[in-house]
Every structure is written in structure tokens, then in C-alpha cells.
Amino acid sequence: MKKVVGCLLLVACVGVARAEEPARKVLRISADPNNLPFSNEKCEGFENKVAELIAADLGMELQYNWRAQRRGFFRIALKEGECDLVLGVPAGFERALTTKPYYRSSYMLVTRKDRHLDIHSLDDPRLKSLKIGVQVIGNDATNTPPVHALARLGLTENIVGYTLYGDYTRANPPARIVEAVAGGEVDIAAVWGPLAGYFAAKQPVELRLQPIEPTDADAVLPFEYSIAMGVRKGDKELRDRVDDVLQRRKREIDRILDEFKVPRVAAKRTEGRP
């Protein structure tokens, strides 16, 4: 996915959009500078590649506002008007006006293939004797669904937490949880699909990925999410233009996602934009 998408696009991978730029000639993106496979300041992530495609299709110059995707990111990026578009938001996200989803993924169970663990759900009794890596945010009320599910099952003593934020002095902090599986630090890990697929392919040992199958008790705890793009509330004109690009260029976007090993699951028929 190192291909240059379009010759009409001037990609500004540094700096901030100038206030004097005429409206709609610049597409301002807020993105994390150290968060592959999504984005980085070298524009190597799949969200960077999709942003290039969208800007080229719209005949706009692409400019980035780099910001770590932590607490306050969406408030500053969208509500306070730092950018025009964020590429990775849950469909129907309440803090933005969202496009139709452009992919749907799932939390994955990641294991070493040579361990021959064929575990599909978090209520598998074998988990009681295994170390389980999970992605944690640090606030129990907003922690990832696998954390809540394992706590409900009484497996908190088996959990090894890997923060989504991580050590920002190292490249791609979320990679640590997948590296822990490959290195035997944990036996199994529950990892968000795009992170699992991308980093599993880069390990020195072969890893197995299995979408988490929810149990009846997890009916209100989703492990799958449709991912859309978000614009400022009220900016229906830009939202609709981006939606049109997503529909016209779907095959190219899917090829980008394939190259970055993003696992996808079928979208629900009822999904659409708000």
C-alpha cells in the first residue's frame, strides 16, 4: 500500500492547515502520528492511504493536524473545529456526523498456531488456566468489551493488561499485546481486529486469529463494530461528498484494507448513516 493514490493530490504530512485557505480546497484530517496500522506521521497507515484517495477524488489538498488519539481527541478535532474529517469512528458516533460504514471488524482471539488452541469464545473453560492479554483504557466504565466479559466470568486474575495508549516513546504502542502472544508472555489475547491482523503478520512465529463468538450472556456486549468517518455535526455537505467517494471507490478501499490485513465481518443489513 505504498502506492501513490492519484497525481493531483498534494499531501501535506506536516504542519497545520492555514486559516486563510479558501473553504473546501483543503481537507483537514486529525490523526494520530504513532498509531499503525491506522496512521502515522509518515502517512504509512491504511487511514492515511484512504484519506489520500478521498482527497484526490474530491480534488482537495490534504493536510494533517497530528494529535495522539487519547482523551479529548474528538472534542478538539471536531467540536472545536481543528479538522474537517476523522477517518475511524464508530458508525453513528454521537460526537460526530458519520458517513456510512466503510468496514466492519471484530475483536479477535490471537494465539500462537503451534499451541493448537482452538478457542472461539471467552467462556471456554480452558481460559481458567491461561494468561489472557487484553487491551485496557484505564477507566472501568469505558474499558474494552473483552475486559468486561472476562470480569463477568470471574477471570480477572488471569488478565494481563496492555494499555491502548502505551509507551508513546516507542513506535506503535498497541503492537505490544500481539508481540506478547508471539513471545509467550501471554497464552491468548483479545485484540481489536485491525491491530490483530496487521501486527500478527509481522511476528516471527505464525499466529492464529479467531473472531470472538459472543455467548448469550454477551448479547448486549458487542465484539463487532462498523467503522465510519466523522465530520463536524451540521457539515452534511462534506459528509455526503465523502459518502459518495466511499461508494464509488469501494473496491480500491477494500484493496487497501486487504493489504493491511484488516479482518472484516459482514455488515448488518440495518446499518446506514444517521
**Cα 190 to Cα 193: distance, rounded to the nearest angstrom:** 9
Beta strand 207-211 with 86-90 is unpaired
Contact assessment for residue 85 and residue 238, using Cβ atoms and an 8 Å cutoff: yes
The average confidence (pLDDT) of the chain is 87
Please report which confidence band the pLDDT of residue 142 belongs to, taking 50, 70 and 90 as the band edges.
low
Q: Which of 60-64, 126-130, 159-163 has the lowest mean pLDDT?
A: 159-163
Q: What secondary structure letter does DSSP report for 220? A: T
Q: Which of 5-19, 190-204, 252-266 has the lowest mean pLDDT?
A: 5-19
Residue 15: predicted pLDDT: 42
pLDDT digits (tens, 9 = 90+) for 203-257: 999 999 999 998 776 667 789 999 999 999 999 999 999 999 999 999 999 999 9
Whose cell is 452534511? That residue is 236
**3 state SS of 49:** helix
Best CA proximity match to 108, nearest among 23, 40, 10, 201? 201
Residue 23: predicted pLDDT: 54
For 149: left if phi > 0, alpha if psi spans -120 to 50, otherwise beta; the answer is alpha
pTM: 0.86
**3 state SS of 125:** helix
CA atoms lying within 13 Å on the CB side of residue 149:
25
Q: Three cell numbers at 182? A: 508471539
Please report which confidence band the pLDDT of residue 1 belongs to, taking 50, 70 and 90 as the band edges.
very low
Domain regions of the chain by residue span: 11-103+226-259, 106-218
pLDDT digits (tens, 9 = 90+) for 148-195: 999 989 999 999 999 887 677 888 888 999 999 999 999 999 999 999
Beta strand 132-136 with 188-192 is parallel
Whose cell is 499531501? That residue is 11
Residues whose CB falls within 8 Å of the CB of residue 94, separated by 6 or more in sequence, listed in order: none
Residue 164: predicted pLDDT: 82
**3 state SS of 95:** coil
Q: Which of 54-68, 126-140, 254-268 has the lowest mean pLDDT?
A: 126-140
Contact assessment for residue 107 and residue 192, using Cβ atoms and an 8 Å cutoff: yes
Question: Quick check: do 11-103+226-259 and 106-218 share a fold?
Answer: yes
> Averaged over 64-72, what is the pLDDT?
88
Residue 163: predicted pLDDT: 87
Give the amino acid at 195.
Answer: L
In terms of DSSP H, where are the helices of 104-249?
145-152, 176-182, 193-200, 236-248
For residue 99, pLDDT over 60 is answered with yes
177 backbone dihedrals φ, ψ, rounded to 5°: -70, -35
Residue 267: predicted pLDDT: 73
Residue 165: predicted pLDDT: 75
The CATH class for the domain spanning 11-103+226-259 reads: alpha beta
For residue 17, pLDDT over 60 is answered with no
Architecture of domain 106-218: 3-Layer(aba) Sandwich (3.40)
112 backbone dihedrals φ, ψ, rounded to 5°: -75, 135
